[in-house]
Amino acid sequence: MGGSHRPVLLQAVIAAINPRAQAIYVDGTFGGGGYSRALLESADCSVWGIDRDPEACDRGAVLAEEFDGRLSMIHGQFGEIENLLASHNIDCVDGILLDLGVSSFQIDEPGRGFSFQNDGPLDMRMSMEGPTVADIVNQTEQGELADIIFRYGEERHSRRIAKAIVSARAKAPISGTIELADIVRGCYPTPKPGRKAIDPATRTFQALRIYINDELGELQRGLNAAESLLNAGGRLAVVSFHSLEDRIVKTFMRDRSGSGASVSRHTPQNDTDKNPPTFIELNRRAVRPDDSETVANPRARSARLRTAERTDAAPWNFGRTDSGGTA
Ligand SMILES: C[S@@+](CC[C@H](N)C(=O)[O-])C[C@H]1O[C@@H](n2cnc3c(N)ncnc32)[C@H](O)[C@@H]1O
C-alpha cells in the first residue's frame, strides 16, 4: 500500500465545515484521510471515517492511533451512513464531508484496474467485492452496454464502442485495461495533428467505473442521509469531479434550500409549500481550485465544491421508501 493522495480543495472544505470542539463529523470518503486529519487538527472534535475500500480503512486504523480515540473508522458505503452510525449509537452529527470518486491510492495501483495508463485487470471495484468491470464488458448485452457507456460517460460514440467490445469478446474475453482502452480508441477518428484531445478511452472508463460502483445511486442516498443526520447548523460539503455528480449535488442543494426548479413559484403545490427548506446554500456557485492547486495537483482540475448548512426543518425524506439507486 504505497503512494499518497493529495486532498483537493482542502482549505475551502475545512473552512466550510468550520470545525468546533466536542462536535462530531463524518468523513464519508476517508481515502488517505487528508480531510479527517485536517478536521482533527483544527479542533478537539471527533471524526467517523467511512470508506468502502478495505485498504482505506487499514490506513484509517493507523491514523486513528495518532488521535487518541477521536477518529473511528467504519468499513462501508456512505449511502448507508444512517445504519452504519446507528450501529454505533449515533443518530445526529455536526458536519458531513464527501469527496467523491477514487483516490490516488486506487488509481495508481494497476492491480485495481482503474487506470489505462498501466496495464491491469479490468476490475474497478472500490469495495473489492461483487462483479468486476471484466464481468460487465464480457457479459452485458450490446444495447445495454451502449446505454451504460452513454449514460455514465456521456459518450456520443457509445453504440460504436459497444459493438467493437462485443466483436472483440467474441474472439476472446477482454481482460486488461490497455486492451479495452485500445478497443475504444479504435472507434474514434485519428485526432487532427496538433490538437490536444482527452484520451478517447476516458469517458468509457468513467462510465464503467460509475456503473460498477453505483456511484450516482450512492451519492443520492448519501445526500438524503445527510439531511436526516445533520443537526441544525451542521454543514455538508461535497467535492465532485464530473458533471453527472455535480448536477445531483447542485439539484439537491437548490431544491432543499428552496431555490431549485422543483420549487418554482410558477408551479402550484411546489415542494416548499409542503416542506420548508432543510438547507441554506453557503455558495451559490461551486468553488473551484485555483491555478496554483491545479498546477501542483492536476487531478484537482475538474473538482467542484458545494456546501450547505442544515436548517432546523424536518427532513423532506422522512418516511421515504425509495433508495435512489441507478445501477
Ligand atoms: C477522492 S478519495 C477521498 C480522498 C480523501 N478526501 C483524502 O483526503 O484522502 C475517495 C474515497 O472515497 C471512497 N468512496 C467512494 N465512494 C464511496 C462510497 N459510496 N462509500 C464509501 N466510500 C466511498 C473511495 O474508496 C476512496 O477511498
Q: Are 17 and 237 in contact, with CB atoms under 8 Å apart?
A: yes
181 and 44 within one domain: no
How is residue 60 written as a grid cell?
A: 484509517
Among protein residues, the one whose CA lies closest to atom 4 of ligand 1: 31
pLDDT at 323: 45
How is residue 199 written as a grid cell?
A: 484520451
223 and 206 within one domain: no
Please give the DSSP secondary-structure letter assigned to residue 324: -
Provide the domain limits for residue 190.
128-212
153 and 231 within one domain: no
Q: Could you tell me what percentage of the chain is helix, strand and coil, using 3-state DSSP and rounding each to the nearest 5?
A: 45, 15, 40
Q: Is residue 51 lining ligand 1, measured as CB closer than 6 Å? A: yes
Probe ligand 1: pick from 103, 209, 212, 215, max atoms within 8 Å of CB? 103
Q: Is residue 60 lining ligand 1, measured as CB closer than 6 Å? A: no
Q: Does residue 110 form part of some domain?
A: no
pLDDT at 193: 78
pLDDT at 18: 97
Probe ligand 1: pick from 11, 25, 108, 126, max atoms within 8 Å of CB? 126
Residues 6 or more apart in contact with residue 240 via CB below 8 angstroms: 100, 101, 246, 249, 303, 304, 306
What are the E-state strand segments in the chain? 24-27, 46-51, 71-75, 93-99, 230-240, 279-281, 304-310
Q: Is residue 227 lining ligand 1, measured as CB closer than 6 Å? A: no
- The total number of structural domains that make up the chain: 2
pLDDT at 218: 98
How is residue 161 written as a grid cell?
A: 464502442
238 and 154 within one domain: no
- 235 by DSSP, 3-state: which? strand
Q: Cα separation of 296 and 62, whole Å? A: 26
How is residue 245 written as a grid cell?
A: 455528480
Q: Which CATH number do you get for residue 58?
A: 3.40.50.150
Q: Is residue 12 lining ligand 1, measured as CB closer than 6 Å? A: no
Question: Residues in the chain with pLDDT < 70?
Answer: 1-2, 261-273, 318-327
Among protein residues, the one whose CA lies closest to atom 2 of ligand 1: 103
Q: Cα separation of 33 and 173, whole Å? A: 37
CA atoms in the 13 A half-sphere facing the CB of 5 = 26
249 and 200 within one domain: no
Query: Cell numbers 464481468 correspond to what residue?
Result: 135
How is residue 255 written as a grid cell?
A: 431544491
256 and 208 within one domain: no
238 and 194 within one domain: no
* Ligand 1 centroid to residue 225 C-alpha, Å: 17
* Ligand 1 centroid to residue 189 C-alpha, Å: 35
pLDDT at 195: 74
Nearest Cα to 205, choosing from 302, 99, 122? Answer: 122
Q: Does residue 300 form part of some domain?
A: yes
CB count in 10 Å sphere of residue 68: 8
Probe ligand 1: pick from 4, 29, 36, 112, max atoms within 8 Å of CB? 29
- In order of 35, 91, 235, the CA distances from 20 in angstroms are 15, 18, 12
What angle, 0 to 180 degrees and rounded to 10, lies between the N-to-C axes of helices 142-153 and 158-171? Answer: 130
Q: Are 126 and 102 in contact, with CB atoms under 8 Å apart?
A: yes
Amino acid at position 98, single letter: L
Q: Which CATH number do you get for residue 189?
A: 1.10.150.170
* Ligand 1 centroid to residue 51 C-alpha, Å: 6
* Ligand 1 centroid to residue 102 C-alpha, Å: 6
pLDDT at 3: 76
| Domain final residue, candidates 182, 212, 242 | 212
Q: Cα separation of 102 and 133, whole Å? A: 15
Q: Is residue 9 lining ligand 1, measured as CB closer than 6 Å? A: no
Q: Is residue 50 lining ligand 1, measured as CB closer than 6 Å? A: yes
